[in-house]
Chains A and B, each alone.
Chain A
Amino acid sequence: MVERIRLITQHVSFLFFIYGGRLGIQLGHSLPCFSCPYASGCAGHCYLMALQSSHAGFQVSFDYLFSRFGLQVLWAFAAFLLFFIPLSKFWCAWLCPFCLFQDWLTMIRKKMGIREMIISPKVRDNIRPVKFILLGLMVIIPLAVANFGLHPDWALPFCQICPAKPILPIFTGNFSYFSIDFTNSVTLVFSLVSMVITGGFLVGMFFKERFFCMVCPMLGLMHIFKAISPLKFEKNVDTCLACGNCQRICPIDISRVHLEKKKKDVLTQDCMACMRCVESCPGDRVLTFKWFKFDLFSSSRLYLARKWSKKK
């Protein structure tokens, strides 16, 4: 039931974010999801672009940053928080258009009967900091462009290599970002790296569910502000059987939910609030997603039994 609602929401939000601009909807440039500005006619822009830009981000000289102009950077960030705080990580699994694209690839793989790739916990642990490294580079590189004479074609470094840049415009009929830019050596390297990364992620996203989300800097940015988010994912450590169902069903293979023995809060940095773990938990009220004090969805033995009896 929850899975079905999530899929419907994802499809509606995909149509909204990718084509909404054609209906005159413009939500600004601080959205906490991959509503890619390169897909012309989108309903708003991903905040990661604004973060690296010269109009609302860090591609400005230090003089400007610490003047009144700095308020523009703060304003864009405040707008990001305004969008992020109420919905928190629901932006990822429920609203992000690029997440849905990954889910489509997973659906195709499952229909073809190809098994999923297994990524070891050690590899996962090594990959985890990548999203924060990317986030750091999104601040450092634009600052270096504006202050230390780094070539201006290094501007928007993440957008230039983000796989969403060539992929999402396809849905507006634009295939032009699958290209190599021979203008100069910097554009040549960036476009070549972009194509290699896009190809690599296409394979990765096909063989592993939510492969891109493992390194998504937006998820990292959201995690930094987890404390001010009203979304809580709680576990009743006393009643949990540690059966591991939650990890088996999790698209990101998060193990902490069933391994946690002490803490109530089990919202990890990789969690995207898809709620599949809650759906698959056999214990009554063991796992609960809360929004402020309201219980959004709790695990239930009866719910799981009904779900499996329907499947059979």
Chain B
Amino acid sequence: MRLHTLVFMGVLCWIISGAAYALSVDDFLYFEKLELKKEKNGQVTQTFAIRFHGPDLDFLNVYFQQNQDAAVYQAEVENRAVSITSAASSFFRLFAFGGYGNRRYVAQTHFCLFGKSKIKIKRKPAVLSDEFVPLIEIVSPEFSYWPQTGQHFKFKINSDFSVNDVTAFVLEKQHVKTLVPNTGIFFSYIPAHDKQLRDASISAVRQDTVFARIISDKYLYHITCALFLHRSRTAFVNQRPGVAACLVTVLFFWMWIVMKRKRSKTPW
């Protein structure tokens, strides 16, 4: 009986380790948030590390879009890190595109920077190739500059070819969760609340990264989308105890005044 159990456990471990290997994040390119630097002139610079543990890439380009503009700009990559500077309050979409052989790696993220400077930052317009790059599109919430834990995120694999074989998972606080497609290319994900994040400031973020692997006729695409989640603003706010506390206080002070007026000999 004990031998059977041991064999079963061994087989289970082998399956789990195999699954983990199959979904290893090492074979993906993804952004990781590093420091946020506030310049004295009001500009704000956010640095991201570009993580990739696979073999050397033949090419790696990083682009970004500011606000809702269609213009795409090239970002400078230094030591697998990229810095985005903003002089105003802006919403950014950041993309990295790399590859070797028949493998293509795409990393994406979006974030806000709250700069306050009149100095204009020179942007280098990107020269894009004609090659269509599949992306993870966040369908809902459509525009969320302040993504939070507990929100219902819906993703879609956006590509110019029919996607048949999709494997998707999410790395939430070092734990891998498999994402099951709703209808072919749509995925849902509700990030769990986090005690550590709740105890930190409202601007603190946790990075959850969505990974997807899709196969086209020519390439094997490994796509990631990094979400920088804030603590939920509403999940732990409860109205009933608030109204109750207020009413109890009102009743307490009202009674106190009435009692004091009844006992006092002089008008009060």
Contacts and interface: CB of A to CB of B under 8 A. Distances in A.
Contact of B238 (A115, A182, A184, A207): A182
A63 B40 contact: yes
A183 B193 CA distance: 10
A200 B254 CA distance: 9
Interface stretch (A4-12, A189-197, A226-234): A189-197
Given A191-B242, A192-B245, A182 B250 contact: no
B90 to A, nearest CB: 15
B257 interface: yes
A56 B246 CA distance: 32
A198 interface: yes
A178 B250 contact: no
B236 interface: yes
Given A115-B267, A153-B201, A183-B231, A199 B242 contact: no
Contacts of A117: 257, 268
Interface of B: 38, 40-42, 116, 198-203, 231-232, 236-239, 241-243, 245-250, 252-254, 257, 267-268
The winner among B41, B200, B203, B257 for most chain A CB atoms within 10 A is: B257
A23 interface: no
Given A152-B201, A179-B242, A118 B249 contact: no
A151 interface: yes
B239 A176 contact: yes
Interface in A153-208: 153, 166, 175-184, 187, 191-192, 195-196, 198-200, 202-204, 207
A72 B239 contact: no
Nearest to B204: A152
A196 B249 contact: yes
Given A69-B42, A152-B201, A152-B202, A199 B248 contact: yes
Interface residues of A, number: 36
Given A152-B202, A181-B236, A182-B237, A55 B253 contact: no
A104 interface: no
B253 to A, nearest CB: 4
Contact of B254 (A118, A175, A203): A203
Contacts of A69: 40, 42
A180 B232 CA distance: 14
A68 B42 CA distance: 8
A199 B249 contact: yes
A40 B94 CA distance: 32
A203 B201 contact: no
A126 interface: no
B246 A178 contact: yes
A202 to B, nearest CB: 6
A63 B37 CA distance: 14
Given A118-B268, A177-B242, A178-B242, 11 more contacts: A64-B38, A64-B40, A68-B41, A178-B239, A179-B241, A182-B238, A183-B232, A187-B236, A195-B249, A199-B247, A199-B250
A309 interface: no
B242 A195 contact: yes
